[in-house]
Structure 1
Amino acid sequence: MGYVDWEFAKTTGRNLVPAGPSVSPDEARAEVAAIREAARAARGPVAETARMQTPPDAPDALVVDRATWIAVNADSMRAMLDPTFDAIIEKRGQVPGPAAQAIGGKVTGAEAGALLAFMAPKVLGQYDLAPDGTPALLLVAPNLVAVADELGVDREDFRRWVCMHEETHRVQFTANPWLRDHVIEQARGLAVDLAPDTERLQEVASRVAAKLPEIFKEGSAGLADLVTTPEQRERMAALTAVMSLLEGHADVVMDDVGPAHIPTVDHIRARFTEKRKGAGAADRVLRRLLGLEAKMRQYRDGAVFVRGVQDAVGVEGFNAVWTSPETLPLAREIEDPRSWVRRVHG
């Protein structure tokens, strides 16, 4: 029995996730086929715009429903976190007994499943890094339909636009194979470092209780602001800078590709940007608690960085960012693109 019952997480997620839009079987098949074609068609334009290419033998994108997205991500979380839990237990020197593991595994499995169920209706697509497995490009069919209809945009153009974004993520990692291992290693190491020692648990709980309102201030990173040390926040900022780069680059490429291939790209971008800002009260609370507001800032800040670098040294000069871990942007450079240009290009 592991520290998280991942199969229970999958079951919990499937039971909690809202149903997708109501479509007939014929409509569903047609939508899946159209998404697959849009994903295939995105390869050429993304390669031309990003000046990087996904290997020609890369498999087609997987078009999935919400329950399948939950299952895939539960497996990836298992591969990412189980070694981390082992390292944390070794660090603490205390191994829970079988009964405690069984009960705790159900509890944490339910929590993981609930989180995945919350996220599943919001994700349009994803390049799944699949630690210890085979990475895959995922596109969530019911969400593409639901969001296109919610925004009132052309479905065909919207699916093309999203596929450009997700194909950019795939090319980031497949054209630069070292990047996947680097991101996984940094994430695992940070997770181990963030786990509080037994002596710190009471201190962390007291801090959270006393300063919980601060989470809801503009610019807060969520609970992480309250439970981390300055050194840990520095490591988090370094990883966040990489994620900002990845998301901002994908946003820039999808918009630069757009005009030649997606007639309504400007309308889609405007409507989608408004959607990112808007949410109901409960949704805003959860986003702040989970740090998802910081995720939204990654798109904006990362895109500003990419644009700033490309304006200074062009696309080829920007692509030096993919050379090694040393050329990835530092946290302070995300807000000051020219400082990255000076450091990398001299």
Structure 2
Amino acid sequence: MSQTPPPGRPDDGEGRNPLEDLLRQLMGGMPPGGGPAGANPFAGLDPAALQAAGLPGDPAALGRMMAQVQQMMAGGGDGPVNWDLAHQVARQRAVADGDPSVPDAARRSAAEALRLADLWLDERTALGSAGATSAAWSRSEWVEATLPVWKQLAEPVARSVGEAMATAMAEQAPPEMRAMVSAASGVVRSVGGAVFGMQVGQAIGELAGEVVSGTDIGLPLAPEGTTALLPANVDAFAEGLEVPLEEVRLYLALRECAHARLFTQRPWLRAHVLGIVEAFAAGIRIDTERIEEAVRSVDPTDPEALQQALGSGMLEPERTLEQEAALGRLETVLALVEGWVDHVVDSAAAPLPSAAALREVVRRRRASGGPAEHTLSSLVGLELRPRRLRDAAALWAAVEAAEGVEGRDAAWSHPDLVPGAEDLDDPAGYAGRRSRADEQASDVDAALAQLLDGGLGEARHERSAGERTARRDEGGQDGEPADDGPDDDQPGDDEPGDGGGAPR
């Protein structure tokens, strides 16, 4: 059990974890560093430390959020994330730099680009159109539209972390205090839900200022049956590229429509991705022994030592082998999705003069730690490896060269047919292995068809012919087939089935 600093020791907020201070304020009402009632309790916190904790870097903004938290603690629900708070924080962050309504002209331009992109893709993929509704969103509208999927992504992890932390606290408490700690577990979870809600909302709000479309980060965030562009962010993306805005808009629309086709025509993919996140969350564990060892070695009166201990990651969940496996599966499937989109769009966008340059800009944007990597890392602890994008694009190009567009897209028919991580290491080898597997499957199908249509068919034919011959042999003198039962026309005949014919 960790020791507490002497009650009279002044605390200026240095060397402390901002989340620890926040929890103190929420649970105990004492602002970090003290201060009169009604004062901003976060005025003394380092903005950089707040941002490192996934919270707003402006202490004044955090103070306003704190007032909201205090109002909503009772009404935030029993879930692992206070989504009311997350929603408000995300909306506030999304409009912080301005978020005007999308003009009618921009909506028409976005709709036209999405319509044209869908037509261009018809020639380059066997997956049919998503039949999607075209939309042009403001940043706030993107927050509203994608929040349901964020709930599916974040809640499993938040729930597992909350349960693991509550268990760890109970195990570390002295025997005489365990009953009290257990009784307070509901309050701890409620506080954790508020903190997690603030972090989620902050991340979603920041992401709203970066994404250019509904599926920009490779996840199916947009509602099913919807393709969307964010005109304000598209304009920002195009700045400094020396490429006409119309070309940029059309290229990004091609990527959006390609994502939509894949997730709509292969509905198992959405559930597969979200299921991997849930599998990752289910394996979260807190290493209580590591925490106890670190606490015993730290002088609680030494701020620098506390800072070093907190920065060592002792409070972070420990990854299990199951989590590492789930993380690998998620990284692979997202790389395959992005690689497929990259390859298909590169082919479809060939008429655009700046297609090659735009492709490289998008690749570098993802490889430099784009929105997907940072958001998933801060929300659910999942770190992506965008470098696999190029490997995946090479793999799909190799499959298309060997089997054509139909064969390439057939690999998405079922989860068992999708390439694995080892195939990303050897794209050309995967195409060869797939061809050999198809040949073996064809041989098996041919043998089975021969057995069913040939062997069994002949057996049925022979059995039917034999039955007809037997009936003729058992028939009467006039050649009529015999009845299966007694002959009612010949009284006194007690032999069933002979029909009065010749003796057998």
Aligned residue pairs: how many?
325
- How far has the Cα of 1:181 moved from its partner? 2.1
- How far has the Cα of 1:302 moved from its partner? 2.0
What is residue 149 of structure 2 aligned with on the other side?
A: 76
What is residue 258 of structure 1 aligned with on the other side?
A: 349
TM-score (ref. length: structure 1): 0.78
Deviates more, 1:265-274 or 1:176-185: 265-274
TM-score (ref. length: structure 2): 0.55
Question: What SS does the corresponding residue of 1:259 show, helix, strand or coil?
Answer: coil
Alignment partner for residue 59 of structure 1, among 132, 154, 175? 132
Written as runs of structure 1 = structure 2, the 5 A alignment for 1:265-280 is: 265-273=355-363, 275-276=365-366
What is residue 240 of structure 1 aligned with on the other side?
A: 331
Is 1:42 the equivalent of 2:117?
yes
Contact (CA 8 Å) 2:80, 2:158: kept in 1 or not?
yes
Distance (whole Å) between structure 1 residues aligned to residue 221 and residue 360 of structure 2: 32
2:259 is aligned with what amino acid?
H
Distance (whole Å) between structure 2 residues aligned to residue 45 and residue 71 of structure 1: 30
Distance (whole Å) between structure 2 residues aligned to residue 32 and residue 78 of structure 1: 28
Distance (whole Å) between structure 2 residues aligned to residue 92 and residue 147 of structure 1: 41
Contact (CA 8 Å) 2:85, 2:197: kept in 1 or not?
yes
Written as runs of structure 1 = structure 2, the 5 A alignment for 1:281-300 is: 294-300=384-390
Distance (whole Å) between structure 2 residues aligned to residue 125 and residue 306 of structure 1: 23
Written as runs of structure 1 = structure 2, the 5 A alignment for 1:18-33 is: 28-33=103-108
Distance (whole Å) between structure 2 residues aligned to residue 330 and residue 22 of structure 1: 41
Is 1:11 the equivalent of 2:85?
no
Distance (whole Å) between structure 2 residues aligned to residue 304 and residue 97 of structure 1: 51
Alignment partner for residue 159 of structure 1, among 235, 249, 255? 249
2:346 is aligned with what amino acid?
D
Q: Structure 1 stretches of 5 or more lacking a match?
A: 216-223
Return closer, same or farther for 1:200/1:311 CA change in 2, 3 Å cut-off.
Answer: farther
Is 1:345 the equivalent of 2:459?
no
- How far has the Cα of 1:10 moved from its partner? 2.1
Alignment partner for residue 220 of structure 2, among 114, 124, 129? 129
Question: What SS does the corresponding residue of 2:81 show, helix, strand or coil?
Answer: coil
- How far has the Cα of 1:38 moved from its partner? 0.7
Distance (whole Å) between structure 1 residues aligned to residue 293 and residue 213 of structure 2: 35
Distance (whole Å) between structure 2 residues aligned to residue 153 and residue 29 of structure 1: 23
What is residue 305 of structure 1 aligned with on the other side?
A: 395
Is 1:183 the equivalent of 2:298?
no
- How far has the Cα of 1:8 moved from its partner? 1.2
1:99 is aligned with what amino acid?
V
Contact (CA 8 Å) 2:166, 2:188: kept in 1 or not?
no
Contact (CA 8 Å) 1:247, 1:298: kept in 2 or not?
no
Return closer, same or farther for 1:52/1:286 CA change in 2, 3 Å cut-off.
Answer: closer
- How far has the Cα of 1:270 moved from its partner? 4.1
Q: Percent identity?
A: 25
Contact (CA 8 Å) 1:79, 1:130: kept in 2 or not?
no
- How far has the Cα of 1:275 moved from its partner? 4.8
Return closer, same or farther for 1:205/1:236 CA change in 2, 3 Å cut-off.
Answer: farther
Return closer, same or farther for 1:308/1:80 CA change in 2, 3 Å cut-off.
Answer: same
What is residue 148 of structure 1 aligned with on the other side?
A: 238
Alignment partner for residue 108 of structure 1, among 196, 200, 204? 196
Contact (CA 8 Å) 2:277, 2:326: kept in 1 or not?
no
Return closer, same or farther for 1:203/1:161 CA change in 2, 3 Å cut-off.
Answer: farther
Contact (CA 8 Å) 2:166, 2:189: kept in 1 or not?
no
2:423 is aligned with what amino acid?
E
- How far has the Cα of 1:117 moved from its partner? 2.5
Q: Structure 2 stretches of 5 or more lacking a match?
A: 1-76, 168-181, 296-307, 437-504
